[in-house]
């Protein structure tokens, strides 16, 4: 038996979005710091992020422009309804990769991704 050292991702989580509606998803990045009680939020001010959904390697949806990273350790994914409407029904895999100003890259979240269409059809216009 072989031991495995390390991991592919900090958090495994599936992503479910509904096309054409407000979808706000948040994940908090916490780390244990030697000498402190419990984990502390990682200040991601000034960090960059790439967040994509792919199917068989092909880019289906790029969420990167709608990812914000905060000093409180929260990565917020918030695509506008008008943008998500164009994606329609899709399934695949996703991840959120963050990079600090010094070049450290962390694959923060990954899992399966599904975008579904709502049952109710509306004529409401949304700003993109």
User: Tens of pLDDT along 57-95?
Assistant: 999 999 999 999 999 999 999 999 999 999 889 999 999
Which residues span the domain enclosing 73?
11-116
SS3 state of residue 30 = strand
27 part of a folded domain? yes
Residue 4 in contact with residue 16, Cβ under 8 Å? no
Could you tell me what percent of the chain has a pLDDT over 70? Answer: 93
For strands 105-116 and 11-12, give the pairing. parallel
Q: Name the maximum alpha-carbon separation found in the chain.
A: 58
Give me the number of domains the chain comprises.
Answer: 1
Q: The CATH number of the domain where 53 resides is what?
A: 2.60.40
Identify whether 4 is part of a domain. no
Q: What is the mean pLDDT of the chain?
A: 91
**Mean predicted confidence (pLDDT) in 24-39:** 90
User: pTM value?
Assistant: 0.86
The DSSP secondary structure of 43-87, one letter per residue, reads: --TT-EEEEEEEETTEEEEE-GGGEEE-TTSEEEE---HHHHHHH
pLDDT of residue 124: 57
Question: At residue 35, does pLDDT exceed 70?
Answer: yes
Residues present in the chain in total? 128
pLDDT number for residue 7: 77
């Amino acid at each position: 038996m072989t031991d495995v050292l390390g991991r592919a991702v900090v958090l495994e989580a599936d992503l479910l979005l509904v096309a054409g509606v407000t979808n706000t998803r948040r994940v908090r990045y916490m780390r244990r710091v030697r000498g402190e009680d419990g984990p502390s939020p990682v200040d991601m001010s000034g960090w960059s992020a790439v967040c994509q959904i792919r199917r068989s390697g092909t880019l289906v949806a790029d969420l990167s422009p709608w990812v914000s990273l905060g000093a409180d350790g929260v990565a917020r994914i918030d695509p506008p309804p008008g943008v998500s409407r164009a994606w329609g029904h899709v399934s695949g895999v996703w991840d959120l990769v963050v990079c600090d100003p010094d070049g450290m890259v962390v694959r923060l979240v990954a899992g399966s991704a599904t975008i579904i269409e709502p049952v109710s059809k509306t004529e409401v216009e949304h700003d993109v």
